[in-house]
Structure 1
């Protein structure tokens, strides 16, 4: 009996148990995470008349400019190119790139809260993803307008983007935990990540079509961001994503989850001291 009680006590005090408990407790506080994420947006645009609409207007101007210039450079039909670049740019800029950048600041920006109130660390990751999800939803109106203008209707195949969005949600939380822990310890990492984002932007089909690679398109799957973005982008463009793309997307995601879980379990008890 004494051995059993000791085993239960040791389990409850283990890093693995505490990390899992942190995630569960954080999920229970999703309403608080949503309120904090919305408050972050209101605070960011405090005193602004248009608020997040400024980001949408800026993105729209950039997409229109890129569409006109690059369609001429690549000799692409604007009817085909502009919907692609509009959707790709919004998903990249306000989905992937923002998640990577904000993931680095996940715990650093919440240092006052972490030091003053005992809350699950996972709550801060959920808060970051919800904030970015709200901003992404604001900006999805841009490709929607472009689709309507060019009479591009993806049809029922667009529903296939739902599992892709769920994968993005889980991956985004994993990125926040992974980068949040590392950047709390090593403050030079955010600069490296920002440089990485700029480089990967040009080697990922965002402003150029995958078909432009012709027979070399098979090598695109070795860029982890390509299959992950394509499981969301493809169905919205009316293109069914093949099993091969999904296999790579899930494979890269599993690797990310394993690394994220390992780092969070190891670093969770020290985050408050690092920040």
Structure 2
């Protein structure tokens, strides 16, 4: 017999209630950042500095290794790293989202989705700080010359990226709470995805080495994070986009949310016991 707590109405009700408690998760998300950089002079801008230094070091190194012009390659790596940080955090922090909030879940009568909104809001703030680096790139490397009205596609792409962060956090958060072995598995998986996703290398380099029509050069299309990277990075750099990236991301988004909602319906009432 189906429990009253295991219905789609309860699952969607949790999302609505959680969003209505936005003062709570907006405050908690901002407090997470303030606590992390407590007593620091620059505060959250250390996020920007750390990402900028990492992107510069990797961009300079790989531009020499791959024989790529630094003016084009460094902005490519920088934007790719900024987007990848969001993807990586949504998987790793998402898997830990309920476990890390064990005290609040057991003591504070709030919707389960509050912790998802909090984590995604925190990552949005990190992303906003890192976008300062992109603005510097626009001026320093003349990227603004390639930016056009088509670059506005980056706005829906970023929204789509964070919409996916939510379902990823819900899905992995629930099952990582129940099965604690999932989190370390995801840690190894994200490392593998980072290597396979063209963050530090370009698909054009791969095609030049293997031939544009090579089947092996097209294997990168099988990596889902590649498509998320492309829909955001291409418009920000003023590069042409292929429709297939949007289609693939759209299909994954719909399928992911279907699975996440089903997980919320079936298991949301059990999470407080599992943590």
- TM score, norm. by length of structure 1: 0.91
1:139-172 deviations in Å (ceiling 9; x for gaps): 1111221221011111222211111112112111
Q: What residue number does 1:6 align with?
A: none
Equivalent of residue 70 in structure 1, options 62, 77, 84 = 62
d(CA) in 1 for partners of 2:227, 2:125: 23
Secondary structure at the counterpart of residue 185 of structure 2: helix
The question of whether the paired residues in 2 share the 8 Å contact of 1:129 and 1:169 is answered with yes
Partners in 2 of 1:224 and 1:206 — Cα distance? 13
Q: Which residue of 1 aligns with 2:132?
A: 141
Contact 2:196 2:220 in 1 (8 A): no
Q: Is residue 105 of structure 1 aligned with residue 96 of structure 2?
A: yes
Listed one character per residue, the Cα deviations across residues 49-82 of structure 1 (whole Å, up to 9, x for unaligned) are 2222222222212211112111111000111101
Provide structure 1 residue ranges, at least 5 long, that are not aligned to the other structure.
Answer: 1-9
**Once superposed, what is the RMSD of the aligned Cα atoms?**
1.7
Report the 3-state secondary structure (helix = DSSP H, G, I; strand = E; otherwise coil) of the residue aligned with 1:48: coil
Aligned to 2:192: 199
State the distance in 2 between where 1:171 and 1:210 align: 24
**Large movers: runs of 4+ above 4 Å:** 10-14
Aligned to 1:123: 114
- Answer with 45-54 or 30-39: which moved more: 45-54
1:158 and 1:222 map into 2 onto residues whose CA distance is 25
Report what 1:22 is aligned to.
14
* Structure 1: distance between partners of 2:190 and 2:127: 18
CA–CA distance in 1 between the matches of 2:16 and 2:71? Answer: 46
Alignment check: 8 A CA contact 1:221 1:245 kept: no
Residues in 2 aligned to 1:11 and 1:109: alpha-carbon distance in whole angstroms: 27
Q: Separation in 2 of the partners of 1:140 and 1:170?
A: 18
**1:89-104 aligned within 5 A:** 89-93=81-85, 95-104=86-95
Question: Is the CA contact (8 Å cut-off) linking 1:100 and 1:193 kept in structure 2?
Answer: yes
Match of 1:56 in 2: 48
SS of structure 2 residue aligned to 1:253: helix
Bigger mean CA offset, 126-135 vs 225-234:
225-234
Q: Distance in 2 between matches of 1:14 and 1:66?
A: 48
Which structure has more RCO (C-alpha within 8 Å, separation ≥ 6)? 2
Give yes or no for the alignment of 1:181 onto 2:140.
Answer: no
Q: Distance in 2 between matches of 1:11 and 1:205?
A: 46
TM-score (normalised: structure 2): 0.91
Unaligned runs of 5+ in 2: none
Equivalent position SS for 1:27? helix
Contact 1:157 1:239 in 2 (8 A): no
Match of residue 7 from structure 1:
none
Aligned residues: 265
Question: What's the secondary structure of 1:241's corresponding residue?
Answer: coil
Give SS of 2:268's match.
Answer: helix
| Partner residue in 1 for 2:274 | 274
Q: Which residue of 2 aligns with 1:4?
A: none
Is 1:233 the equivalent of 2:233?
Answer: yes
